[in-house]
Amino acid sequence: MEYKNPGEETPMTPLRQQLLDMIVEPDAYDHPAGELLPLQLAAARELVAQRLDQISVLRRRADDTGVHEIRTLDDLVPLLFAHSVYKSYPATFVENCRWDRLLQWLQTLSVDKVTEVDMGGVEDVDQWIERLGAAGHRILATSGTSGKCSFLNATEGDYRLKVRHFGNSLGWPVMKPNRDRAVFALFPRSGPNSGIEAGRIGAEVWGRPDSAHFLTAEPLRIKDVSAQAALRKRMAEGSATPGEVAAFQSQNAERAERAQAGMARLIDKILEHRREPIVLTGLWAQHLAILERARTLGVPDGDFNPQSVVSAGGGVKNVALPEDYKERVAQFYAGVQRGGAYGMTEQAQIMPVCPARRYHCPPGLIMLILDGPGERLLNPPGNLGGIVEGRFAFLDLLYDGRWGGLISGDRVTADFGERCPCGRPGPTILDTIARYAQVGEEDHIGCAGTIDSYVSGALAS
């Protein structure tokens, strides 16, 4: 593999550039599938040809599957990564501070050369991420329920294009962000996490200078997440002492208390600003907390400025929410613009929601609907046909730092009809996105299992 140095520009292939640049046009989301598909396919062909020589995991995948050239959308399917590839490094690399080995691993999934980044004196994974950032590699980390983080590399250019994409997709199709209002993002101000990054980009594109409010200035630290995973592992092995577990829990409790205090202050500030147009982004449970505080203060439903944009999201796994949480939140914010977009950490080009509550696909995102196992493409020929239910996958043409092809864990219903009920062309994703539980397999019972079942949920913070 020939790795290029960060910042060293390789010109984007013209078709890819053309598709990505469409986002700045007013009709970005108005192109019919028949017009886009041939361009997308050609851009994917060019991109794959380039990336095969740059990303060793992709190269091996191509060699294993015999797919070296993209002629149809079906050819992309064997080349898509499962999200788990981005957490396929051994966790001991982090536990034992083997930053060189972690770089070696990251290199196999990166376009730019990362193995020469100086890691001298690095003591934890956050510093590892910072060093990479300083050298032009923007790492996003996610944490799964296991606590093991994925690390996804992107370039500075990728980030700039992502900001541009957000600037042209947030508020769509009703409003366009123009830095004129207060922004409330119920996340930490900084940290290598996609939710935080999205909050920051939102503040940048919507916010008046100096009027962005975050949950806390305390950065989200990945080492806390990793520490939890490491402790959990040692508990499983039986080497963690009860005292260690107790200390960890009280540390978590303190942090939660600080976060709660910050949240209470921020909620009051949000409610003070409710009569002016604002942008408010948070998780479902956080919106319920705002609602509850409003009740106490006697703030009625529908009291926010109709020019405000409020979006709610985030996973609802392991969060106790009332069954009608969506309805309650909708009622509380009645009258405002309920923005929203579908996206995930692995995806730069989010899909904004239309007034018909459907998610629309930007020109630079190739949407692939797969069967349950993620092996077969269900898109109708020419991306024109009926309703298809399946696993959401995509090739995000934006990334220069890594391969943008991914199979998600989401079960979606996609409408490949010519037009969305909102009048714009399809395809669209319906507002019925769910996780891929292994339907019908919920009571498959076997005698084989791991020590993970033996660690009681003592580490929930």
Partner 1 sequence: MNARMEQRPVPLCHVVKGVTITGADLEFGGAGARFTTPSLHLDDLVWLRTQPGPAFDVPLAEILDILVATGQWLTADPKGWVAEALEFTVRSSPLPRDVLETSYAGLGRMFSDRAGMEFQVDQELGGAASVDGWREVVTPAGRRVGVRAFPPRLVHIIAGNAPGVAAQTVIRGALTKGVHLIKIPSNDLFTATAILRALSAVAPGHPLARSFSAVYWRGGDAQVEARLFRAQYFDKLVAWGGESTIRTAQKYVGPGFELVSFDPKTSISLIGREIFASEDTLADAAERAAVDATAMNQQACVSSRVQFIEGSVEEIDRFCALLQVRLGVARPGCSACGNPLPADMRSAIEGLRGLEPYARVWGGYEGRGVVIRSEEPVDFHPDGRVVNVVPVDDLRSALRYVTVATQTVGVYPAPRKTGLRDALASAGVQRIVELGRAMQIVAGLPHDGFLPLSRFVRWLNDE
Smallest distance, partner 1 to C-beta of residue 47, A: 20
Smallest distance, partner 1 to C-beta of residue 410, A: 14
Smallest distance, partner 1 to C-beta of residue 445, A: 4
Instruction: Please give the torsion angle defined by the CA atoms of residues 310, 316, 319 and 320, in that order, rounded to the nearest 10 degrees.
Output: 80
**Shorter beta-carbon distance to partner 1: residue 83 or 357:** 83
Return the closest-CA partner of residue 217 out of 201, 198, 200.
200
Q: How many residues of this chain interact with partner 1, rule: CB under 8 A? A: 48
CB 411 within 8 A of CB 390: yes
Neighbours of 350 (CB within 10 A): 21
**Contact with partner 1 (CB under 8 A): which of 82, 134, 247, 261?**
82
**Shorter beta-carbon distance to partner 1: residue 1 or 264:** 1
Residue with tokens 């019919």: 32
List 112's β-bridge partners, or say none.
4
Neighbours of 372 (CB within 10 A): 13
Question: Binding to partner 1 by residue 453, rule CB under 8 A?
Answer: yes
**Shorter beta-carbon distance to partner 1: residue 332 or 403:** 403
Question: Binding to partner 1 by residue 333, rule CB under 8 A?
Answer: no
Question: Binding to partner 1 by residue 239, rule CB under 8 A?
Answer: yes
Binding to partner 1 by CB under 8 A, coded x per residue (else -) over 403-422, reads ----x---------------
Smallest distance, partner 1 to C-beta of residue 105, A: 6
Smallest distance, partner 1 to C-beta of residue 369, A: 14
Distances (CA, A) of 198 to 77, 332, 343, 347, 449: 28, 24, 10, 11, 38
Element spanning 291, H or E? helix 284-297
DSSP readout, 37-89? HHHHHHHHHHHHHHHTTT-HHHHHHHHHHT--S-SSGGGGGGGPEEGGGGG-S
**Contact with partner 1 (CB under 8 A): which of 50, 88, 211, 252?**
88
Smallest distance, partner 1 to C-beta of residue 41, A: 23
Question: Binding to partner 1 by residue 454, rule CB under 8 A?
Answer: yes
Smallest distance, partner 1 to C-beta of residue 239, A: 8
**Contact with partner 1 (CB under 8 A): which of 19, 43, 75, 81?**
81
Stretch that binds partner 1, among 112-120, 153-161, 280-288, 440-448 (CB under 8 A): 440-448
Give CA–CA dist 109/287, Å, rounded.
Answer: 37
CB 167 within 8 A of CB 279: no
Return the closest-CA partner of residue 149 out of 119, 193, 188.
193
- Map residue 138 onto helix, strand or coil: strand
Stretch that binds partner 1, among 31-39, 262-270, 321-329, 439-447 (CB under 8 A): 439-447
On the CB side of 186, CA atoms within 13 Å amount to: 26
Question: Binding to partner 1 by residue 211, rule CB under 8 A?
Answer: no
CB 336 within 8 A of CB 308: yes
Q: Is the dihedral of CA 232, 238, 239, 241 positive or negative?
A: positive
Instruction: Please give the torsion angle defined by the CA atoms of residues 177, 181, 184 and 187, in that order, rounded to the nearest 10 degrees.
Output: 50
Question: Binding to partner 1 by residue 66, rule CB under 8 A?
Answer: no
List 457's β-bridge partners, or say none.
none
Smallest distance, partner 1 to C-beta of residue 232, A: 12
Question: Binding to partner 1 by residue 250, rule CB under 8 A?
Answer: no
Chain positions 89 to 118 lying near partner 1, rule: CB under 8 A, are 89-92, 101, 104-105, 107-109
Stretch that binds partner 1, among 5-13, 282-290, 336-344, 449-457 (CB under 8 A): 449-457
Does residue 277 have a cis peptide bond before it, meaning omega lies within 30 degrees of 0? no
- For the chain, first and last CA: distance in Å? 43
**Shorter beta-carbon distance to partner 1: residue 174 or 437:** 437
Smallest distance, partner 1 to C-beta of residue 435, A: 14
**Shorter beta-carbon distance to partner 1: residue 60 or 265:** 60
Question: Binding to partner 1 by residue 444, rule CB under 8 A?
Answer: yes
**Shorter beta-carbon distance to partner 1: residue 82 or 387:** 82
On the CB side of 194, CA atoms within 13 Å amount to: 22
Residues near partner 1 (CB under 8 A) are 56-57, 60-61, 64, 81-85, 87-92, 101, 104-105, 107-109, 148, 236-239, 371-374, 407, 439-454
